Amino acid sequence: MRKLTLGFLSTPWWVLPILTVAALARDGAPSTGCKDCAAWNASQAPFRIYGNSYYVGVHGLSSILITSDRGHILIDGALPQSAPKIAASIRALGFRVEDVKLILNSHIHFDHAGGIAELQRLSGAEVAASASSVEALRSGHSGPDDPQFGHLPAFPQVNRVHVFQDHEVLHVGPLQVTAHLTPGHTAGGTSWSWRSCERARCLDIAYVDSLTAVSGDTFFFTRNATYPNVLEDFAHSLAVVSALPCDILLTPHPEASDLWNKLARRDAGDADALVDTAACRHLADAARKRLEERIAEESRRGSAAKRS
Ligand SMILES: [Zn+2]
């Protein structure tokens, strides 16, 4: 059995379920089990984040709905088994799933892209992906450039995928969402930004993709042939995330942006508890520190191998 190489002791706990899933894979074959998926897929009542932006995901995995009277945009589909719950949450908010016109993705792992095929079937929406993500969405599994290649379950294949470019603004009716390529965790990872307004007050919302350097035990971020520019990509992504317009930070794993604690504070009366203009910068700083720890750990492993 292959094991995953963590490489940093301060692994955020929300990464651990991914690692547990990955540890189930044998010899690079896609794993089909997912010990923590039931917990991830726990039901979550949908709620308004701000203005026309809503959380419609399950408790452990985000899915974000941006609404307009001329169609909606949905970001991320969580697990395959999350799709009916996401659809039910959209309906519970009073919207029609059939009005979702565009589905976007943070990255092509089963826990964020798994529900997209079914949500596309239910809605008839277009799906858009970065050039590096298209093949994985169409085939239902990532390729050898994925640091976790062979360690994660496959997911339902997605049809009708349109490719967007970095900085492209995607439109549905009056909605405008900007793509920011933030590769590293995967080669095609993408963060998204848009504005939502309540009366005259408009806030910048950033949905920032995972920035964790997690891999199988044969993948070294400091030296590998399948994704040779991964460290340059991470450096680029951390700079991009630091500079994003960011009044409200959202992340594919909601704990990564402390969403539930912020929401509890808002429910207790702090109306702006979700607003933190430093949140993107702090997220990037923490990710940079963890990446540096991983790089140091790989170099220690390299020196130990030379000595033995
Ligand atoms: Zn991932």
Residue 5 has pLDDT above 60, yes or no: no
What is the residue whose two structure tokens read 């992504």?
237
Q: Which residue has the higher pLDDT, 32 or 124?
A: 124
Distance CA(22)–CA(148), nearest Å, equals: 8
Q: How confident is the model at residue 218 (pLDDT cuts 50, 70, 90)?
A: confident
Give yes or no for residue 256 having a pLDDT over 50: yes
Interval between CA 109 and ligand 1 midpoint (Å):
5
The pLDDT > 70 percentage for the chain reads 87
Residue 285 Cα to ligand 1 midpoint, Å, equals 19
**Is residue 4 pLDDT above 60, yes or no?**
no
What pLDDT, on a 0 to 100 scale, did the predictor assign at position 10? 39
User: How far apart are the C-alpha atoms of 263 and 273, rounded to whole Å?
Assistant: 7
Alpha-carbon distance of 85 to 78, in angstroms, equals 10
Mean pLDDT of 250-279: 98
Q: Rounded to an integer, what distance in angstroms lies between the CA atom of residue 221 and that of residue 213?
A: 8
Q: State if pTM tops 0.85.
A: yes
Burial class (CB in 10 A: 0-12, 13-18, 19+), 29: exposed
Per-residue pLDDT tens digits for 10-65: 344 444 444 434 433 332 333 446 888 999 999 999 999 999 999 999 999 999 99
Check pLDDT > 70 for residue 154: yes
Average pLDDT, the chain: 89
60 C-alpha to ligand 1 centroid (Å): 13
Other Cβ atoms within 10 Å of 16 Cβ, number: 12
CB 186 within 8 A of CB 133: yes
pLDDT, one tens digit per residue, over 75-113 is 999 999 999 999 999 999 999 999 999 999 999 999 999
DSSP string, 177-204: EEEEE--SSSTT-EEEEEEEEETTEEEE
Query: Ligand 1 mean position to 34 CA, how many Å?
Result: 14
Check if the beta carbon of residue 167 is closer than 8 Å to that of residue 173.
no
Measured in Å, residue 31 CA sits from the centre of ligand 1 at 14
- C-alpha of residue 61 to centroid of ligand 1, in Å: 11
**Phi, psi angles (nearest 5°) of residue 197:** -125, 145
- Say how many Å lie between the CA of residue 234 and the centre of ligand 1: 14
Task: Name the phi and psi angles at 281, rounded to 5.
Answer: -65, -45
- 53-55/64-66 β-pairing: antiparallel
Query: What pLDDT, on the 0 to 100 scale, is given for residue 299?
Result: 87
End-to-end CA distance of the chain: 24
